[in-house]
Amino acid sequence: MISSTVTQKGQVTIPKEIRNRLGIREGEKVMFVPRGDEVVLKVVRGNILDLKGSINAGAHPEDFVAIRRSVKRAVGAKAGRHE
């Protein structure tokens, strides 16, 4: 098992063996994905499809028609007009 120590600033150095195994190079981004009581480290590379599944969609999609209507009402109210 390979370990690393968390610094006072909350930083952790990824051990060389892990960097080599995952092909992580200086300047690359990594993502921390919580899974229960574990965290998975993923390398973020140039393809947007690599991020698939990393964001949970909301339970209900936004109603953009209703949002536009409320914005129009708010803008109209600020301008002194009412629908």
**Does residue 8 form part of some domain?**
no
**Does residue 52 form part of some domain?**
yes
Q: What is the pLDDT of residue 59?
A: 63
Q: Are the beta carbons of 9 and 18 closer than 8 angstroms?
A: no
**Does residue 7 form part of some domain?**
no
**Does residue 4 form part of some domain?**
no
- Alpha-carbon gap, residue 60 to 72, rounded angstroms: 23
**Does residue 32 form part of some domain?**
yes
* pLDDT of 16 strictly over 60: yes
The tally of domains found in the chain comes to 1
**Does residue 3 form part of some domain?**
no
Closest C-alpha to 45, from 29, 34, 32: 29
**Does residue 83 form part of some domain?**
no
Q: Is the pTM of this model over 0.75?
A: no
Element (DSSP H or E) covering residue 44: strand 38-44
Task: Show the domain range for 53.
Answer: 16-78
**Does residue 11 form part of some domain?**
no
48-70 per-position pLDDT tens digit: 776 777 777 666 667 888 888 88
Q: Are the beta carbons of 33 and 18 closer than 8 angstroms?
A: no
